């Protein structure tokens, strides 16, 4: 059994009660009819990409693993449940011995994923698998959302022909929806491609590079802006970035920064950058660049912040802004345009007399009908390009040496035959019978995976609005099974 490294962010956390009461009432209900050890399968999936994006970046699995690994009911938890006066002592006694004995298959963090694909498949006794629904969804929804949003912003910053790798720094702590949103959000932002964070707790937990210089209060607390700049450059001679917008960017901030930059140059040091945090960033950055260049300070970088998002960054670049790096806060750390990803957790199979029987959830809304059965997700590559994902039943085998016909599961007349393809199976075992069997990658590896993944797809999926829609198809056998179950439901 693999072990979990205790990161500072998890220090002594105990999250067993991080669940909805209805999980406990359902667990108790199953216990009352003695069905709580019946094995079931649940899928975690979402139905729409966040922010109208062409994909999502899977993230949050580390948190799921930490949670399942430590899951148990303490005396305190049981005392609270007892106080609700809803559960029998037998049941509470049963919970004393609770731990997770199930199997979890998951798509690794940093993988590009698409609507309706199981990101996780969770199998085990219904009592255990029910408890964990809420927390798993919380972790996966939050981190996948922020990783995706971060990627959108990083892609925007990369549209700059003059600075194709201009870095994005996450600095949203003060606008994050509380502590964990800031720390796990900074982690997800780094996975999505940010180069660092302002958040020290995230930096400590995940060895994410941290950055930060000074705020307006630093400038205000000195008799003059120039005094403040000089004091900062003396404290951090190697890392001097000066905030130039406390009073007046063009008449005061940049002239003073140039004075300090020239003084540093004389001493063999160099001013690293300036930061503009208000005003018109396109106009000010172009003026700033000219002023710095004219003073012989061509190497001084211009960093911009101030309510940025992927749209504003694109527009600033289109207008020729001279910005070398971006600090992004609110819109990144909250994914303000779409602050929730809608992963759900749906029962897809149930063991009856040692046989897995598929289950379906019908709905008035056809998009909410689930894909039944124990499933796997296959990514199909032709010439090293991902051409489609195929959701199939776990027992299905595909012979990649033979042509494969794919079809749209809704508009089934849309068909395509692929040949000479390669299959990558996306779901990997993480827990087997309650034992952790997956070595959790470091966040740096996950971040690198996103960069690799993005290159596997046509670039049109990266358009921020109305991107190309990547195909996620069902195997013929899964499609047939779904139709059969729907038909059975309609004709009782």
Give the integer Cα–Cα distance in Å for 172 and 155.
19
Beta carbons within 10 angstroms of residue 25's beta carbon: 14
Which of 14, 468 has the CB closer to a second copy? 14
The Cα 298–Cα 304 span in angstroms is: 17
Residue closer to a second copy, measured from CB, 130 or 166: 130
Q: What are phi and psi of 31, to 5 degrees?
A: -60, -40
Q: Which helix (H) or strand (E) holds 353?
A: none
Footprint of a second copy on 47-86 (CB under 8 A)? 76-77, 80-81, 84, 86
Judged by CB under 8 A, the residue of 4, 7, 17, 448 near a second copy is 17
Interface residue with a second copy, options 69, 98, 247, 479 (CB under 8 A): 247
Question: Is residue 90 close enough to count as binding a second copy by CB under 8 A?
Answer: no
Considering only residues 373 through 412, tell me which ones interact with a second copy, judged by CB under 8 A: none
Return the structure tokens found at 370: 């689930």
The residue length of the chain stands at 492
* CA-closest candidate to residue 163, choices 302, 59, 281: 302
Dig out the tokens for 129 from the structure: 């698998």
Q: Which is nearer to a second copy, 24 or 68 (CB)?
A: 24
- The answer to whether 244 and 276 are in contact (CB under 8 A) is yes
Q: Which among 97-105, 128-136, 419-427, 431-439 is the span making contact with a second copy, rule CB under 8 A?
A: 128-136
Question: Which CB sits closer to a second copy, 321 or 386?
Answer: 321
Binding part of the chain for a second copy, among 102-110, 227-235, 406-414, 415-423 by CB under 8 A, reads 227-235
Residue (220 or 445) nearer to a second copy, CB: 220
The residues, any chain, with a CB within 8 Å of residue 220's CB and separated by 6 or more, are 228, 246
185 binds a second copy (CB under 8 A): yes
32/423 with CB nearer a second copy = 32
- Rule CB under 8 A: choose which of 5, 178, 354, 401 binds a second copy: 178
Stretch that binds a second copy, among 17-25, 48-56, 419-427, 432-440 (CB under 8 A): 17-25
Q: Is 179 in the site for a second copy (CB under 8 A)?
A: yes
Binders in 196-215 for a second copy, by CB under 8 A:
198-201, 203-204, 210-215
Residues 343-362 touching a second copy, rule: CB under 8 A, are 343, 345-347, 350, 359, 361-362
Instruction: State the DSSP H helix or E strand holding residue 264, giving kind and residue range, or none if neither.
Output: helix 254-266
At 6, give phi and psi (nearest 5°). -85, 105
Residues 434-453 that bind a second copy (CB under 8 A): none
| Best CA proximity match to 148, nearest among 425, 450, 377 | 450
Angle at which helix 133-157 crosses helix 310-318, to 10 degrees, equals 0
């Amino acid at each position: 059994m693999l072990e979990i490294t205790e990161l500072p962010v998890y220090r002594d956390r105990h999250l067993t009660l991080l669940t909805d009461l209805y999980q406990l009432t359902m667990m108790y209900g199953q216990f009352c009819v003695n069905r709580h050890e019946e094995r079931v399968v649940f899928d975690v999936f979402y139905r729409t990409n966040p922010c109208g994006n062409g994909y999502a970046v899977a993230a949050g699995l580390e948190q799921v693993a930490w949670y399942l690994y430590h899951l148990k009911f303490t005396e305190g938890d049981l005392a609270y449940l007892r106080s609700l006066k809803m559960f029998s002592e037998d049941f509470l006694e049963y919970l004393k011995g609770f731990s997770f004995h199930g199997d979890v298959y998951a798509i690794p963090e940093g993988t590009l994923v698409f609507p309706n694909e199981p990101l996780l498949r969770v199998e085990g006794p219904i009592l255990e698998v029910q408890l964990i629904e809420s927390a798993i969804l919380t972790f996966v929804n939050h981190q996948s959302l922020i990783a995706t949003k971060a990627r959108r912003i990083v892609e925007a910053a990369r549209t700059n022909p003059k600075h194709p790798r201009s870095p994005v720094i996450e600095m949203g702590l003060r606008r994050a929806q509380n502590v964990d949103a800031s720390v796990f959000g900074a982690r997800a932002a780094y996975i999505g491609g940010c180069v660092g964070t302002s958040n020290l707790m995230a930096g400590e937990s995940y060895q994410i590079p941290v950055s930060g210089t000074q705020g307006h209060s630093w400038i205000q607390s000195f008799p003059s802006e120039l005094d403040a700049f000089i004091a900062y450059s003396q404290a951090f001679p190697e890392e001097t970035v000066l905030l130039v917008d406390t009073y007046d960017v063009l008449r005061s901030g940049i002239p003073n920064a140039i004075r300090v930059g020239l003084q540093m140059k004389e001493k063999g040091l160099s001013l690293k950058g300036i930061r503009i945090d208000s005003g018109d960033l396109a106009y000010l950055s172009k003026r700033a660049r000219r002023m710095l260049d004219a003073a012989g300070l061509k190497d001084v970088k211009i960093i911009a912040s101030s309510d940025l998002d992927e749209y504003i960054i694109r527009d600033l670049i289109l207008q020729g802004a001279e910005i070398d790096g971006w600090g992004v806060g609110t819109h990144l750390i909250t994914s303000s345009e779409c602050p929730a990803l809608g992963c759900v957790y749906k029962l897809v199979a149930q063991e009856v007399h040692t046989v897995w029987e598929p289950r379906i959830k019908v709905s008035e809304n056809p998009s909410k009908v689930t894909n039944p059965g124990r499933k796997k997700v296959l990514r199909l590559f032709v010439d090293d390009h991902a051409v489609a994902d195929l959701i199939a039943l776990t027992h299905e085998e595909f012979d990649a040496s033979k042509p494969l016909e794919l079809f749209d599961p809704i508009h089934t007349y849309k068909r395509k035959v692929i040949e000479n393809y390669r299959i990558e199976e996306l779901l990997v075992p993480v827990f087997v019978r309650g034992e952790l069997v997956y070595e959790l990658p470091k966040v740096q590896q996950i971040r690198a995976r996103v960069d690799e993944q993005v290159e596997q797809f046509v670039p049109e999926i990266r358009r921020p609005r109305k991107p190309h829609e990547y195909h996620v198809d069902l195997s013929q056998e899964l499609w047939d099974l779904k139709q059969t179950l729907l038909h059975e439901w309609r004709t009782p």
